[in-house]
Amino acid sequence: MKKKRFRFQWGAFLLLIFYGGLFFLLFTRMVTLQATGEAEGQELAARAAAKYSKESAITANRGKIYDHNGQVIAEDTLSYRLIAIVSDKATTDPKNPRHVVDPEKTAKILAENLPNSDEEKIYKQLTKENANGEKPYQVEFGSVGRGISHEVMSKIKEEELPGILFVKDLKRYYPNGIFASHLIGFAVKEENKDGTFTTKGKMGLEYTYNKELTGKDGKVEYETDAFSYLLPDSEKMITPAKDGDDIYLTLDKTIQSFLEEAMTQVEKEYNPESMTAVVADPKTGKILAMSQRPTFNPDTREGTNMKWLNEVIEETIEPGSTMKTFTLASAIDTGVWQPNAKYMSGSYKVLDRTIRDHNGVGWGPITYLEGFQRSSNTAMANLLKLIGDDVFIEYLDRFGFGHKTGIDLPNEATGTILSKYPIQRVTTTYGQGSTVTPIQLIQAMTAIANDGKMMQPYVIDRIVDSSTGKTIQNHEPIEKGQPIKADTAKQVREILASTLTAKYGTAKDFILEDYQVAGKTGTAQIPLGNGRYSWGSNEFLYSFLGMAPVDDPQLIMYVSVKRPKLKGELGSVPVSKVFNPVMLNSLKYLNINPEDVQHVNNATIQDYTGQSAESIQVELANDGLQPVIVGGGGKIIDQYPKGPQKLVKGNLVFLKTEGDVTLPDFTNWSLRNVLVFKSMANLEIEVVGEGFVASQSVSAGTVISDKSPIVVKLKTPAESFKKDVETPSEGDIEQIDDE
């Protein structure tokens, strides 16, 4: 009995020592943790914070793109992202499934509602398995499952598909559809390595200014308990999101809409290979509208046979006869232009090569003015001899050809002015061989419209901090030089206007009802490679480079239509169907008064064909207009300008009748009006000088019954002022007239 009791007590002693040791170790551990705050070399406070501190992102909006007047062109809008739960582990109650239970039905319904989706691809995504033969917990559907509108989301939700969830998201939205798409470009969401998504520009302004448009996400930091519930006394640390900067363009949404509508109609009617068009303010270089066909909708990126580049900026062309504008300007500026001097049209030899006019045979000996109006190639070749090859190439350089304009858009092409061989210099005078871009033509034309001052084109008006409204970057107009004198520019405008009004003018299709247009048509052969060119009425690049109103141009515009399917009409017709409505509607929208922007008193003329010239003469005079009867009087057979339209009071109205012509008093007439009279009267009138008429060789009131030449002398306002200061005698004036 005693031996057993001894063993029992010894066991109790051992247990006491064992548990006492454990208590001592635990106590020592607690003291150590309290003293050092570390365990296994790690900060316990940091581990606790990591476990119970939470963070959520505050998504920043991408900056908006506006037109010049603050109309939205591109912005972020609320959308949804589609997620499908495919693992059955998500379901705890078989009667209330939380995963996709019928992949076939789900794929069918999703494909019916999601744009650009494929039912088979959706089904494969819903049923895919990993390498272990297990389904993932959830799947997404790439681009077709992002940017879903509220309307589409609601339709899918109505189907009550198990496992289909929608997460709120932001989508880049272009509310105007095919609206300057190649200029604006587009941005899409891309997945980052951490599973988040970022909107990135992929083309156009969205790409070029991606850094400025991209915002910086913010975040909210807070503490939770073990069950992820927010602790009541915890502090929130908020870092606000910084939205992207807003960009204001020079584009005018109304003018751009005019352009898009006209181009869409012409594309449907003529099915051309491509089209380009630009509208600009010549006084500043601002681009007011820019478009091309084929085009695409930036929301869907859908387009047919389309180039993913801005052809106005990035593609070069052989411009054809629009280039003659700058050959003419070079001739006038160098003082070699003699509008009434004659040359032999038809063909022109350059060493072993022969160039020809567009009709193949020419029109015999004609004046240079008529040659320009007829768009004669040989007229330009003969002018080159007078200008000089090196001087001509220098003028093209001054006009900016062969150089980037510096427009604030990516990938601008330079074009190439060929000048190594004589034949290249000759063909360049009429726009073949050498290459340019449409934006270079626009920049060069600003010098013609803006009294010699050439303005750099640009599309970004300003960049604004979206949070403060402060302007970060402001674009001011930049003058690129003065390639020609102001008087030269005015004379070029007058001659360009005559291509619409002259008897043999090639631009009659571009006459507007309310405004006088100046411009030059182009019919360019399209290079096929190896020195070969396409040929045929449906194989040309047709174009027009014009401005209005002539006296003080407010808009310039370039339009090209490549390989239209013509139906017997001239190639200028589809071009005019873009230019005419856009130019007319834009000028009216801008409240530009017809003919002279500085006058507001208008009179309305009608179509007077078939009426008595004498009675209409009285009626027009009573309305404040200046009627000019071209002929012997009686019944009116033609008139200029055409009616009905509004004219500024004081304008000339020409009434054509049968019979001999009585010469009017040309004093103070502009060159344009002299050329209109010359064309309607079919008289040999030689124009000397520039500006306005100062004298005429045949007295007013003389009845002209033969083809004797009549000399009309023009002087600029500066020359007239100098004459007035010197106060010459009447005898001196008569002597000058007799020379």
Catalytic residue IDs: 321
Compute the distance between CA of residue 1 and CA of residue 23 in angstroms, rounded to an integer: 34
CB atoms within 10 A of CB 452: 21
CB atoms within 10 A of CB 193: 5
Q: Cα dist. 244→218, 261, 470 in Å?
A: 12, 32, 13
SS3 state of residue 713: strand
- Beta pairing class for 540-548 and 555-562: antiparallel
Place of tokens 């520019």: 489
Q: Cα dist. 423→70, 228, 350, 415, 467 in Å?
A: 50, 82, 6, 18, 59
Q: Cα dist. 274→266, 322, 428, 561, 630 in Å?
A: 11, 18, 23, 6, 44
Give CA angle at 305 (301, 311), nearest 5°.
80
SS3 state of residue 241: coil
Q: Cα dist. 647→422, 565, 664 in Å?
A: 47, 37, 21
Compute the distance between CA of residue 507 and CA of residue 547 in angstroms, rounded to an integer: 13
Asked if residue 452 lies in contact with residue 446, where contact means CB atoms within 8 angstroms, the answer is: no
Helix (H) or strand (E) holding 103: helix 103-113
Cα-Cα-Cα-Cα dihedral sign, residues 43, 47, 53, 56: positive
CB atoms within 10 A of CB 305: 8
Read off the DSSP letter of residue 306.
Answer: -
Compute the distance between CA of residue 274 and CA of residue 66 in angstroms, rounded to an integer: 27
SS3 state of residue 87: coil
